[in-house]
Structure 1
Amino acid sequence: MRITRAGWALMTVSSTLIVLLAARYAGFDPEVFFSNQRATYLAHELPLGIHISGAAVALAVGPWQFAARLRERWPRRHRRVGVVYLLGCLVGGIGALLLAPVAYGGPVARLGFACLGVAWLVTGGIGLRMILRRRIEDHRRWMVRSFALTFAAVTLRLMLVTAQAADLDFRTSYTVVAWLCWVPNLLVACWFTRLRPGGR
């Protein structure tokens, strides 16, 4: 699947910015955490660290897997980066599932983040299975879906900033964003990677 240069650049820049933002959490400085979740994060530093480290790696290297020129010129490097990406998804997904039961926003938000964690692990696992079976096109489809879920880290923060700018109730916004940050991403990815009769 090919994307435009502008789309790839936007995806890469926004992903990198979120990685840099998330790096601040790695120091476990209470002042960095948003106030509503501060106590929970401080009480669960280990799963938070697991989630941040894995997700940051996946988000940092993921966009480079979609650079067609790099993929075609250096296929071995593409495979190695792919392994790093999938390991990041695995670690980040496990951390997400550990954090989901204590997420801010109540049961609805917690279910949303838990479903995201499961979907993230499943799409990455199927993507790996497809490439091991040499089903290249199916592998690409599932990896696009996987990164759409990884990119939820970006859409979540964009939506929260928009909600705050609109002066919406934070708890309500957070609960809604727990679903909206990833479900539309996945639906769009599935639509773009759907099987087309007579072509790729």
Structure 2
Amino acid sequence: MTTTTPRPAAPARGGWRVPAGLVALSLVPVLAGSLRLVALGGGPQLLSPGEDYHPAPGPLATHIVCVTLYALVGAFQFAPRFRARRIGWHRVAGRLVVLCGLVGAISGLWLGVFDHRPETGALLMGFRLVFGTAWALFLVLGLTAVLRRDVGRHREWMIRAYAVGLGAGTQVFTFAAWRLAVGEPGRLAEDLLLLAGWLINVVVAEWVVRRSRRPANSPGAR
């Protein structure tokens, strides 16, 4: 009686679907940030920040550039086959992502606390402080883990950090859904829609982290 050794499963062909989805998710905030940079450079003001709101150009430009690089370069860290074949690129890109994420989080916190819109209330400021601090903290924990050669923990913290940093992408959809269903949101609704975008990303990231911890042969692991 002969036995046949089962062939290993072929690698999934959809290895680029997740990076492509993440790039698409960040597209609107990236385009909006690009228009802001054009205005800061002396070009036309295509996105009006409001008559009474003129943010400091240095921190704002720093935040936009860093968050754009973080979102776009970070998306390709989620292509496992590409990452495995180009370890050197993964490490260099990872350092850039951590640096841009930390500068983006710090500049965002500075803008949120010291250079926010006049109508910003304590509730929204509190949300920004919590998630901006969490973003920076997750990056530090991810960096610390990889320095200890704990690749699993590094991956988990970086997933969480990327999710928080990409909150603006999901907030586009929370606002769009509200406007379609209800209409223009009020002040409190705006704050809660921003919170919803962050929370959705955090929940999805935690689901991905916990799913990746399951043994390969456990129910639901595939």
Partner of 1:137 in structure 2? 152
Larger Rg: 2
Higher helix share: 1
User: How far apart are the structure 1 equivalents of 2:33 and 2:139?
Assistant: 22
Structure 2 counterpart of 1:182, from 184, 198, 208: 198
Cα pair 2:15 2:81 within 8 Å, conserved: no
Partner of 1:95 in structure 2? 107
Partner of 2:184 in structure 1? 168
Q: Structure 1 residue 57 and structure 2 residue 57: aligned?
A: no
Q: Which runs of 5+ in 1 are unaligned?
A: none
Partner of 2:127 in structure 1? 112
Cα pair 2:67 2:104 within 8 Å, conserved: yes
Q: 1:4 to 1:177 in 2, by over 3 A?
A: farther
Partner of 1:67 in structure 2? 79
Deviation (angstroms), 1:92: 0.6
Partner of 1:147 in structure 2? 162
Deviations 1:79-102 (A, max 9, x none): 101111111101110111112122
Deviation (angstroms), 1:153: 1.7
AA aligned opposite 1:66? F
Count of residues in correspondence between the two structures: 196
User: How far apart are the structure 2 equivalents of 1:117 and 1:93?
Assistant: 5
Partner of 1:125 in structure 2? 140
TM-score normalised over the length of structure 1? 0.86
Deviations 1:15-74 (A, max 9, x none): 244322321111335541343xx533x143332222212111101111100111111110
Partner of 1:48 in structure 2? 60
Deviations 1:99-140 (A, max 9, x none): 212255411011101111101100111111111110011111
